[in-house]
């Protein structure tokens, strides 16, 4: 393990609570939850869970702000100014904001947390630009009539963000929703609540009117359910686990609220025998071990062609042995701790599960520190894609290999999953790569590259990986409703019913 070389730790409040109308929510009588530092296993602070009554107060205030037009009717130039100022402030405070995520998630500061802060700032810059170039549509098919189609904000949006990319995830949702003119209530994961409060404070400092944006904190079945079920929440954007997504989808469906969901994945990473070997090896390691292995888009099922399988797997394991595990603030660290003790134990349990399914455990993950939730990577060779390690999202540094020798067979196996978020393909034959990419039932497919995010493109998945998409116009369309206005400029005859 690498040695600790931390930044100066921030001053944490003793209790974190919601932020409603720019003020801290009352903590009297609140249920308290421990917020744990995964690097030490020790409590950082307590989180005061917001009650349904407090959630209602936040939503009512957001709705009132929307209806009075303080933000929804603000000029586009004003919205752009606020978003761009927020982006500037985020970049200025990148180190301190990244530290908040590190202390609550274990993300590696230099490799994950800090880059995610800048990625979050770029979403505000991006959507500030997009709303300045949106065009209304004019149709003239009807005689002497103009039909104008515009888009207007949905209303109040409930935004649920995950623990594995807490700040960046909040920025993506908020930038799009606010750019469109909505009011928002943000509900971060109870494991990583600190960045959300800091982000809302920055937006207020940038000029966002009070009442437009609020933060509520707590567990999904309590605070989250109150937000998802609220009748004044017209749109819900959720990134997280399957069970939470299902509960929110049911709540939204009961009142026909709009919903977008980015859920789990069990993405295939297909290494053909003609691939650029070194790049494919680098890409496979990156795709499963980046972000401490805790990424929905991880390339967790690695299909490698039989002609190169023995060499590739051996080299992969050798590299795995050299991955530097340690304190997330150490510049040398490549793999930090898992997010919680329960999650660490769950990831480790899959080696035994693999053996029960007659898989070969090539590298047994194990705990790496007396304190904190550090584990070494696991590597398994599966002989059947039906096994649990090939079908269940493990969400940790756990790589599963499968060997193939037929292109059609590997495509069928890659699609044999209830998920369909991402897919990775490595081949020097672009015809082969394009054919494979076209056949994959995945929402985001990358050819000869690890994950890169095109902001103009939709991101999301098929099947159990989610509903709808985020990014570019897809985000703006989700946070807006189309309105058709028919304006005749002639005197087309109107039937005169009831007139003799």
Q: Do 380 and 398 meet the contact criterion of CB atoms below 8 Å apart?
A: yes
Going 118 to 121 to 127 to 133, the CA torsion angle's sign is: negative
Q: Clarify whether 173 is annotated catalytic.
A: yes
Name the catalytic one among 46, 262, 334, 363.
262
Residues 427, 447: Cα–Cα separation, whole Å: 8
The HSE-up count of residue 233 (CA atoms within 13 Å, CB side) is 31
Q: Do 105 and 164 meet the contact criterion of CB atoms below 8 Å apart?
A: yes
Name the catalytic one among 16, 184, 296, 351.
296
Q: Clarify whether 23 is annotated catalytic.
A: no
- Choose among 330, 244, 252, 328: nearest CA to 291: 328
Name the catalytic one among 16, 85, 125, 173.
173
- CB proximity list for 350: less than 8 A, separation 6 or greater: 378, 380, 388, 389, 392, 394, 398
Q: Clarify whether 262 is annotated catalytic.
A: yes
3-state SS track over the chain: CECCCCCCCCCCCCEECCEECCEECCCCCCCEEEEEECCCCEEEEEEECCCHHHHHHHHHHHHHHHHHCCCCCCCHHHHHHHHHHHHHHHHHCHHHHHHHHHHHHCCCHHHHHHHHHHHHHHHHHHHHHHCCCCCCEEECCCCCEEEEEEEEECCEEEEECCCCCHHHHHHHHHHHHHHCCCEEEEECCCCCCHHHHHHHHHHHHCCCCCCCEEECCCCHHHHHHHHHCCCCCCEEEEECCHHHHHHHHHHHHCCCCEEEEECCCCCEEEECCCCCHHHHHHHHHHHHHHHHHCCCCCCCEEEEECCCHHHHHHHHHHHHHHCCEECCCCCCCCECCCCCHHHHHHHHHHHHHHHHCCCEEEECCCECCCCCCCECCEEEECCCCCCHHHHCCCCCCEEEEEEECCHHHHHHHHCCCCEECEEEEECCCHHHHHHHHHHCCCCEEEECCCCCCCCCCCECCEECCEECCECHHHHHHHCEEEEEEEEECCCCCCCCCCCC
Catalytic residues: 173, 262, 296, 470
């Amino acid at each position: 393990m690498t040695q600790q070389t931390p930044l100066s730790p921030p001053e944490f409040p003793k209790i974190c609570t919601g932020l409603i109308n720019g003020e801290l929510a009352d903590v009297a009588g609140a249920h308290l939850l421990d917020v744990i530092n995964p690097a030490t296993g020790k409590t950082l602070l307590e989180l005061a869970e917001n009650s349904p009554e407090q959630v209602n107060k936040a939503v009512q205030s957001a709705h009132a702000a929307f209806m009075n037009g303080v933000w929804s009717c603000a000029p586009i130039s004003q919205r752009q100014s606020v978003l761009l100022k927020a982006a500037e402030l985020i970049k200025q405070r990148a180190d301190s904001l990244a530290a908040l995520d590190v202390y609550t998630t274990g993300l590696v500061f230099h490799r994950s947390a800090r880059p995610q802060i800048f990625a979050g700032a770029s979403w505000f810059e991006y959507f500030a630009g997009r709303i300045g170039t949106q065009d209304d549509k004019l149709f003239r098919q009807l005689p002497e009539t103009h039909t104008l189609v515009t888009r207007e904000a949905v209303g109040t949006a409930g935004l649920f963000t995950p623990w594995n990319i807490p700040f960046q995830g909040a920025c993506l949702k908020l930038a799009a929703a606010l750019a469109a003119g909505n009011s928002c209530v943000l509900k971060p994961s109870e494991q990583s609540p600190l960045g959300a409060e800091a982000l809302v404070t920055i937006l207020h400092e940038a000029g966002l009117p009070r009442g437009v944006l609020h933060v509520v904190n707590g567990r999904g079945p309590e605070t989250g359910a109150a937000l998802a079920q609220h009748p004044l929440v017209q749109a819900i954007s959720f990134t997280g686990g399957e069970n939470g997504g299902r509960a929110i989808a049911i709540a939204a469906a009961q009142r026909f609220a709009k919903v977008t969901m980015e859920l789990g994945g069990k993405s295939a990473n297909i290494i053909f025998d003609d691939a650029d070997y070194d790049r494919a090896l680098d890409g496979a390691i990156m795709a499963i071990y980046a972000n401490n292995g805790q990424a929905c888009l991880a390339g967790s099922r690695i299909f490698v062609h039989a002609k190169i399988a023995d060499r590739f797997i051996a080299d992969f394991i050798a590299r795995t042995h050299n991955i530097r595990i340690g304190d997330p603030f150490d510049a040398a660290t490549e793999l930090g701790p898992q997010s919680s003790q329960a999650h660490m134990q769950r990831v480790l349990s899959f080696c035994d599960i693999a053996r029960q399914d007659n898989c070969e455990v090539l590298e047994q993950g194990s705990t790496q520190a007396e304190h904190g939730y550090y584990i070494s990577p696991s590597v398994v060779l599966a002989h059947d894609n039906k096994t649990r390690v090939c079908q269940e999202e493990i969400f940790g540094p756990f790589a599963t290999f499968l060997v193939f020798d037929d292109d059609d067979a590997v495509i069928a196996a890659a699609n044999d999953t209830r998920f369909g978020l991402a897919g990775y393909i490595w081949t020097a034959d672009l015809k082969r790569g394009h054919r494979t990419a076209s056949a994959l039932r995945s929402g985001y497919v990358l050819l000869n590259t690890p994950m890169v995010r095109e902001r103009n493109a939709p991101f999301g998945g098929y099947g159990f990986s989610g509903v709808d998409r985020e990014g570019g116009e897809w985000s703006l369309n989700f946070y807006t409703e189309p309105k058709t206005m028919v304006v005749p400029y002639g005197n087309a005859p109107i039937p005169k019913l009831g007139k003799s």
